[in-house]
Amino acid sequence: MTILPHPYLQALLDGISDPLFILDEQGRIVRVNRAATFLLGVVEEELHARQLCTLFQDLDEETDECMTFNTMLRNGKLREWEVLLRCRGGGLQVALTASALGPGTGVEEFLVVARDLSAHRRSEHEHNRLAAALRSIGEGVYLIDLEGRLRYANPAFERMLGYTEDELLGLEIVELFGSGLNPSRYRELLQSLQSGKVWQGRVTLLNKRREEVPCDTTLSPLLDNQGNIIDFVTVCRDVSERDRLEEQLRQSQKMEAIGRLAGGIAHDFNNLLSVINGYAELLSDTLETDSQPRRFAEAIVQAGEKAAAIIKQLLAFGRKQLLKPLVLDLNKVVGGMEEMVSRLIGEQLEFEVQLAPHPVLVRIDPSQLEQVVLNLALNARDAMPSGGVLRIVTGRNDLTPGLERRGSERAWAVLEVSDSGIGIDRKTRERIFDPFFTTKKDGKGTGMGLATVHGIVEQSGGHIRVESEPGRGSRFRIYLPEVEPQPLQHSPEGSRSIEPSRGSGRVVLLVEDEAGLRDFLERLLEEHGFSVLAAANGEEALGLSRNVPRIDLLLTDVVMPRMNGVQLATNLAKTYPTLAVVLMSGYAKDVVETGDLSKGWRFLEKPFRAALLLATLREVLGTAELPVQPPSA
């Protein structure tokens, strides 16, 4: 064994950055390196023959801990023994490790290395802080190696996909990919990352239930100290909720656009239907009962009424109807419809109704609420061709995420219609409220049922949510603002019969810019005994009014060029204070925006039956005592 001369040995010791101590078998210092003297702030001579343990904070040669140190030193068991070393700058936490020098030479000495733990502790602290941050962060973070296997996943990523850490670690990331990023494309992506570039984009992952989770993802290479790529770190944010809200916004904008379109065509289309239906009615009245020509005329009327119903549904979808809301109890409405719904869905389905134990009050148009229940029930029936369960539930919900009612302490009233049918896939769910969209066979549906439901609910201040998966049935939840308890109201309509009336010479100023409809109304009113002044617009009507001694009633369209019907009625009322006014429009929003029905004015929505028009004129003119039979042909 070659023994290094003292100068060479000292040079070797001084070249080591950690403090070194050579001790004899009694634990006394024989030699130190430069790092040790610098750390302790003394010269080497001051340390010779001194017990190393006396340099420990709060220790001297007589303490048990000092004797324990020397015993461990001699037994070769001193490994990473942590002590606080007295230094010129205060105490320093170090880890001592000893090894025997020259075993078998008869010289018993030990080399003790003091490793500074402060840097290690700082590193450990930073590591713990980083680990805590990764545990607390809301975004999913995971590491994959160069083979594409998961090496780390933070709790947010585990929650996002529903896996445990043990299930994820070692898993190939390609097994978690959904649509849009197949394994071959991902391998190409990993190869491009080898150049050190950062990749950002949308990745669709699959959760434990194999449902797709859209994620905004940032993929970055992880480098070692030499700049070599050792792993890839990925940060992904679940954007499912954001996508849902964006889709709701797009759906809302789309519905608003279609609603404007519906309003635009409703006016003109209902004018045409009024002419078609009106003349068909007149023609039918002139033909013999049970004759083939009369059946043809009646078929025209029926077709016209179906077309008018579609227009109404389109307006309901676009939230452009003129509603007559009343305070209703959901329990009573649903309970009152139970028998009718049961008959409609048939005996092959189980039908369950669960009503809340307390009144659930909402403010909504009664006929519209019934239409919502019927449409959803029929939709559920069609989803269960082989049988199943239809369930209607009423209740309330105080805290519904995303549906907080600002400025109100009242809850949401909930109407839930669910079925155990075939369910709806994601792509279909995105379109189910589109008008004329249907998955049914040709002739089995118009595609307006759910669109109408959506429009009614939105126009009534509510919201609708859908939960459905293929093979798992569907659940439609309707949220309507719950109102304060008050005396329930009932619709005054329904029992009142509609009877035609003769005019007995009453003067009607008829104003309608659609020539065909104006001609029809003029003929209808004259045949029923009214004296008619017909005008194509408001200015012409004002001119006519100056040349007659009296006008009993104004029957006017709402939307006309230069002067609308409401402006005309307001002007004429100055001259004729007792003037009765009946407004007509194929688009109820016209009246909502420009009319004032609180003045006692009446409104007829086009297209209307001739009998309804005549009965309305009789009512507003107070002519109930006049003969009601139609004129002889």
CATH number for the domain spanning 15: value is 3.30.450.20
- The answer to whether residue 433 is domain-embedded is yes
Q: Are residues 330 and 477 in the same domain?
A: yes
Q: Are residues 358 and 477 in the same domain?
A: yes
- Where is mean pLDDT largest: 276-290, 449-463, 527-541, 596-610? 527-541
Question: Which has the higher per-residue pLDDT, 86 or 332?
Answer: 332
State yes or no: pLDDT of 322 exceeds 80: no
Residues 32-59 have a mean pLDDT of 82
Q: Are residues 343 and 462 in the same domain?
A: yes
The per-residue pLDDT for 497 is: 38
- The answer to whether residue 501 is domain-embedded is no
Length of the chain: 633
- The position carrying tokens 């049914």 is 440
The per-residue pLDDT for 409 is: 47
Q: Are residues 188 and 223 in the same domain?
A: yes
- The answer to whether residue 202 is domain-embedded is yes
State yes or no: pLDDT of 533 exceeds 80: yes
Q: Is the dihedral of CA 57, 59, 65, 67 positive or negative?
A: positive
The per-residue pLDDT for 255 is: 66
Q: The domain that contains 593 carries what CATH number? A: 3.40.50.2300
Q: Is the CB of residue 366 less than 8 Å from the CB of residue 328?
A: yes
- The position carrying tokens 């001259």 is 575
Q: Is the CB of residue 461 less than 8 Å from the CB of residue 470?
A: no
Q: Is the dihedral of CA 514, 515, 519, 520 positive or negative?
A: negative
Q: Are residues 114 and 183 in the same domain?
A: no
Indicate the residue among 92, 122, 152 that finishes a domain.
Answer: 122
User: Confidence class of residue 498 from pLDDT cuts 50, 70 and 90?
Assistant: very low
Reported in sequence order, the residue ranges of 441-579 that DSSP labels E, i.e. its strands, are: 463-468, 474-481, 507-511, 531-535, 553-557
The per-residue pLDDT for 495 is: 35
User: Confidence class of residue 476 from pLDDT cuts 50, 70 and 90?
Assistant: very high
Residue 492, C-beta contacts closer than 8 angstroms, at least 6 positions apart:
none
Residue 44, C-beta contacts closer than 8 angstroms, at least 6 positions apart:
31, 32, 37
In angstroms, the Cα distances linking 394 to 331, 332, 352, 364, 477 are 7, 10, 12, 15, 10
Instruction: Return the number of other C-beta atoms located less than 10 Å from residue 534's C-beta.
Output: 20
Q: Are residues 160 and 16 in the same domain?
A: no
In angstroms, the Cα distances linking 483 to 402, 412, 461 are 19, 9, 12
- The answer to whether residue 489 is domain-embedded is no
User: Confidence class of residue 536 from pLDDT cuts 50, 70 and 90?
Assistant: very high
State yes or no: pLDDT of 127 exceeds 80: no
What three-state secondary structure class fits 316? helix
Phi-psi region for residue 597, left (φ > 0), alpha (ψ -120 to 50) or beta?
alpha
Q: Are residues 161 and 72 in the same domain?
A: no
The per-residue pLDDT for 371 is: 83
Instruction: Return the number of other C-beta atoms located less than 10 Å from residue 282's C-beta.
Output: 15
Q: Are residues 280 and 251 in the same domain?
A: yes
pLDDT in tens, 208-263: 988 888 999 888 888 888 888 888 899 999 998 888 888 777 767 776 776 677 66
Q: Specify the range with the lowest mean pLDDT, choosing from 370-379, 491-500, 527-536.
A: 491-500
State yes or no: pLDDT of 509 exceeds 90: yes
CA 588 – CA 101 distance, rounded (Å): 103
The per-residue pLDDT for 626 is: 36
State yes or no: pLDDT of 629 exceeds 50: no
HSE-CB of 468 using CA atoms within 13 angstroms: 25
Q: Are residues 115 and 30 in the same domain?
A: yes
Q: The domain that contains 440 carries what CATH number? A: 3.30.565.10
Residues 566-579 have a mean pLDDT of 89
The per-residue pLDDT for 417 is: 94
Q: Are residues 215 and 71 in the same domain?
A: no
The per-residue pLDDT for 628 is: 32
- The answer to whether residue 318 is domain-embedded is no
The per-residue pLDDT for 592 is: 47
The per-residue pLDDT for 273 is: 85
Residue 520 burial class via C-beta count within 10 angstroms: exposed 0-12, middle 13-18, buried 19 and up: buried
Torsion of CA 614, 616, 620, 622, to 10 degrees: 60
- The position carrying tokens 């905004």 is 216
User: Confidence class of residue 490 from pLDDT cuts 50, 70 and 90?
Assistant: very low
Q: Specify the range with the lowest mean pLDDT, choosing from 222-231, 466-475, 507-516.
A: 222-231
State yes or no: pLDDT of 369 exceeds 60: yes
Q: Is the CB of residue 505 less than 8 Å from the CB of residue 529?
A: yes
State yes or no: pLDDT of 631 exceeds 80: no
Looking at the 3D structure of the chain, how many domains does it have? 5
Return mean pLDDT, the chain. Answer: 80
Q: Are residues 230 and 251 in the same domain?
A: no
pLDDT in tens, 146-171: 888 899 999 999 999 999 989 999 98
Indicate the residue among 63, 97, 122 that finishes a domain.
Answer: 122
State yes or no: pLDDT of 406 exceeds 50: no
Nearest C-alpha neighbor of 270 from the set 619, 535, 512:
512
CA 42 – CA 49 distance, rounded (Å): 14
Q: Are residues 472 and 565 in the same domain?
A: no
Residues 179-197 have a mean pLDDT of 70
Q: What angle do CA 283, 287, 289 make, to 5 degrees?
A: 130
Residue-number span of the structural domain to which 580 is assigned: 507-621
- The answer to whether residue 491 is domain-embedded is no
State yes or no: pLDDT of 408 exceeds 70: no
- The answer to whether residue 632 is domain-embedded is no
What three-state secondary structure class fits 131? helix
The per-residue pLDDT for 56 is: 82
Nearest C-alpha neighbor of 173 from the set 146, 212, 154:
146
The per-residue pLDDT for 326 is: 85
Q: Specify the range with the lowest mean pLDDT, choosing from 112-116, 495-499, 530-534.
A: 495-499
- The answer to whether residue 25 is domain-embedded is yes
Q: Which residues pair with 142 in a beta bridge?
A: 153, 234
Residues 195-213 have a mean pLDDT of 85
Q: What angle do CA 438, 443, 447 make, to 5 degrees?
A: 25
User: Confidence class of residue 61 from pLDDT cuts 50, 70 and 90?
Assistant: low
Question: Which has the higher per-residue pLDDT, 587 or 488?
Answer: 587
User: What's the predicted TM-score (pTM) here?
Assistant: 0.46
Indicate the residue among 181, 208, 238 that finishes a domain.
Answer: 238
The per-residue pLDDT for 500 is: 42
Residues 575-604 have a mean pLDDT of 73
In angstroms, the Cα distances linking 446 to 292, 359, 437, 441, 454 are 29, 35, 8, 10, 15
